[in-house]
Homo-oligomer: A and B are copies of this chain.
Amino acid sequence: MQGEPEVAVLRLGHRPGRDERMTTHVGLTARALGADRLVLANAGASRQDTVEDITDRFGGPFDVEVTEQPNRFLKDWSGSIAHLTMYGLPVQEVEGEIRAAHRSEPLLLVVGAEKVSFEVYERADWNVGVTNQPHSEVAGLAVFLDRLFEGRELDREWEDADRVVQPQPEGKRVVPAEEAAETADE
C-alpha cells in the first residue's frame, strides 16, 4: 500500500487453459487486499488485461506485469520473500516476523499453482502455510494479506477510479467516481 514498502505477488506455475480463472482471482485478490503489484509467470497477456481492466474501472494504483523468467525474477528480488504453501510453517507463528521485516523492506509473496520447484522453497525466507490443509491459493493469499496489513487494506482509498461501489445493507449501488467524491465532501 502507498507509503509502505512494496508488496508484490508472484504467481507461478500458471497452466494455460486450466488456470485462467484461478490466476485472474489471484490477481484481483492481490489488488483488492492491498498488494501493489502482480507478476505473472508464463501467463498469457489476457490475464494481465483482465486485471488491468478492473484497475481502470475501480481504481489503483496496481501494476501487472508478465515475466518469462520467474527464476531470474526470484533471484534478483531485493527484499524478503514469503512462499505460501500448505507444507510451510503456520501463518499465525510467522506473521509477526514477516510484518516486522516488511516495515523496512519490500516483500514478495510467491503463490504457486500445482507443483512448485524446490528452488522456490530454498529461496524463500519463509515458507508459510495458511493451515496445513489443501484448499486454495486464492484463500491463502487473502488471509495472508489481511493478516499482514492487520485489516488496514480494507480502508484503502482508490485513485483514478471510473466508478465506486457504495456499501448497502441491501441491494446494489454503483456510482460514477465524481459523484462519490462529491458525496464524501458533504
**Chain A contacts to B: CB under 8 angstroms:** 21-22, 25, 28-29, 31-33, 54, 58, 86-92, 118, 121-122, 124, 126-127, 129-136, 138-143, 146-147, 151, 153-156, 158, 164-174
Q: Are B87 and A167 in contact (CB under 8 A)?
A: yes
Q: How far is the CB of A58 from chain B (nearest CB, A)?
A: 6
Q: List 22 A-B contacts (CB under 8 A).
A: A21-B22, A25-B136, A28-B136, A29-B135, A31-B133, A32-B139, A33-B131, A33-B143, A87-B171, A89-B167, A89-B169, A92-B154, A122-B170, A127-B168, A131-B153, A131-B154, A136-B138, A138-B139, A139-B139, A140-B142, A142-B142, A146-B147
* Most chain B beta carbons < 10 A, residue from A29, A31, A141, A151: A29
Give the 6 A-B residue pairs with the shortest CB-CB distance, closest first: A139-B142, A25-B136, A32-B135, A132-B165, A32-B133, A28-B135
Q: Are A29 and B132 in contact (CB under 8 A)?
A: no
Per assembly, the copies of the chain total 2
Chief secondary structure at chain A's binding surface: mixed
Q: How far is the CB of A49 from chain B (nearest CB, A)?
A: 15
* Most chain B beta carbons < 10 A, residue from A86, A92, A121, A142: A142
For A134, list chain B residues within 8 Å (CB). Answer: 28, 32, 54, 58
**Of B87, B153, B156, which contacts A173 at CB under 8 A?**
B87
Known pairs A32-B139, A139-B29, A143-B142; A90 contacts B132 (CB<8 A): no
A151 to B92, CA, bound (A): 8
For A25, list chain B residues within 8 Å (CB). Answer: 22, 135-136, 138-139
A86 to B167, CA, bound (A): 8
For A169, list chain B residues within 8 Å (CB). Answer: 88-89, 126-127
Q: Are B127 and A170 in contact (CB under 8 A)?
A: yes
Q: List 4 additional A-B contacts (Cβ < 8 Å) besides A22-B25, A25-B136, A86-B165.
A: A32-B133, A54-B133, A131-B156, A132-B164
